[in-house]
Structure 1
Amino acid sequence: MSSAPIDTAVDATARARDFLGVTRLTNSALRGWLHGLPGVDHVGCDARAGDLGTRSIKNDAKLWAIDLAISMIDLTTLEGSDTAGKVRGLCAKALTPDASDLSTPRPAAVCVYGDMVPVAREALGTDSGVGIAAVATAFPSGRASMAVKLADTREAVAASANEIDMVIDRGAFLAGDYLTVFHQIADVKQACGPARLKVIMETGELVTYDNVRRASWLSMLAGGDFIKTSTGKVAPAATLPVTIVMLEAVRDWFALTGEMVGVKPAGGIRTSKEAIKFLVAVNEVAGEEWLDNKWFRFGASSLLNDLVLQRQRMKLGFYSGADYVTDDAPSLY
């Protein structure tokens, strides 16, 4: 399976022209293609989410799912009040999620503001296996010039971020200016260099499932390595029906192109029970190939605590108190 990156914005535009079968990439061409995608059956999507949400797994399979979910977390702090000490504490938690059981998997990454990347890198080192994701492009609003957005991205990558979580211009998208959104994603992808790009669509502001599907395809066409639901600053954030729409998009993109694209629901997923519902959806909708932290992530902070507590219960046969795990500041994450 390929995850061939798009190296430059020029390559993204050329590929998009080939994909759409046009000689010139225009708003009209993108609009015609995006609005030609099959509509989402809203009632059917909600019903499928409800059905998948009732599935249960037990015993060894549940412990496997808990460990997998832990390994998929982007452990997150994105507050204006973040300090170097708070980020170091987050990194310490990522390195040792459960001091009483060192077999507990580590999360995939910590997710911080760009100016905190050097602090996180110093705390994590270079061989811990825990990556650093930096939010960029004037997160969470996305209201800034492209010069600022690109500088934001390059600075985070230069500071050793492995991944960049960018926000799309929702105003441009909702106004039908798909070409602007396309070029912004492609340009940020180019600025990422070796770092992987997660494209935050802020699905709570996109309103309809059809818009979520269109934004997903536009993000992939422009070169996103991941499509991500939310900043965690807008409600609703990650919901199971929206994630199903996104999982269908990456599945269908792979069928057409042979390229795998990841999915990251972020915001509001706090319990093991909720996380397992999402993993069931990944398996049933996209396929087991996506049951890997290279292709699926949870943007979360408090979720790790509940997963650790559930893991302890399954190992020890009883629940530990909440004071056996570190606390997190209140957040949509």
Structure 2
Amino acid sequence: MSAPSFRIERSTPESKVALGLGIVALIALAAGPWWIDRNGMRIVGEFLVYLSLASMWNLLAGYAGLVSVGQQAYVGFGGYFLFAWAVLGGLPPLLSVPFAGLAAAVLALPISALVFRLKGAYFAIGTWVVAEVFLLLAAQVTVLGGGSGISLPIDVVRAIGASRDARDMNVYWSTLGIAVAILIGIYILLRSRWGLALQAIRDGELAAETTGVSVAGAKRLLYVVASAGTAMIGALIFLAKLRISPNAAFSVNDWTAFVIFITVIGGIGRIEGPIIGTLLYFALRSALADLGAIYLIVLGCVAVVVMLFAPKGLWGLVADRFGWQLFPTTCRLVLTQPSSQTSPSLKGE
């Protein structure tokens, strides 16, 4: 008898194909300013924004069970931080993007101490209330335009790029860089020791806690990370718009409702989910753009149908059916040599 032999693998055939396609897509997108027109760059940039926001929200809801409807608070905070940095401080606006994330992470610590006292639906309502407080506070800052908002001064706009084309390219590349950094960062996080804890929480919070996982600490880490990432994206959103106002910055419809839709239909609790969801959302938006308010009704119907027939989202349905993993985060044993044994012969006496 020979013992079977195994090897430990993390990658899958699908993940190797996805890696190759991802590298090709990244090269193509990085060269976008040379083959995509201005309108195309705007659409691609918006796609990257929603992909990033959905990935951040997926971290919260998909791995920690923190269903927040107030992430627009950090989108608006990031945008206003950039304007305050540039208008009041006279500093380069692009440099404010990472500092917006750092400031949001610091701000998220005391806010998490407050909202984490709430559970379930009360947590969701609490995050929305925090976002509304942010909106009201922003409307009182008269030096940044108060309730009517403010545009970036012309000298600050020129600091982004010497010409309009240069500005568009710099904002586009910054958005692409943030999106890629977020996806890679999430993948690295989920492959780490913290990632194992997060996946344990996703699969069963009580079971994870009984095995020694610090559920409260992991949730707080995710909330801080998601807040920082969302704030950086918010800074880039309003850097591209060159204008900000409280209602636009803290819009629950634009920065949370659509993000939840994307994550739910794509597949919550999976890295691939926001990618699939964003692709489908933009496809539906392009196809139904001329229908006016009916467009939103169709989106709602699509979300209901997916939740009824594919509770884990479209990618969850595919993964369960075919076992595909484009971003494998755990190791697996692969049988390389089956055991062989000779059955003893039976002789009659």
Query: TM exceeds 0.5?
Result: no
- The bucket for the TM-score relative to the shorter chain is under 0.3
Bigger proportion of residues as helix: 2
**Larger relative contact order, structure 1 or 2 (CA cutoff 8 Å, min sep 6):** 2
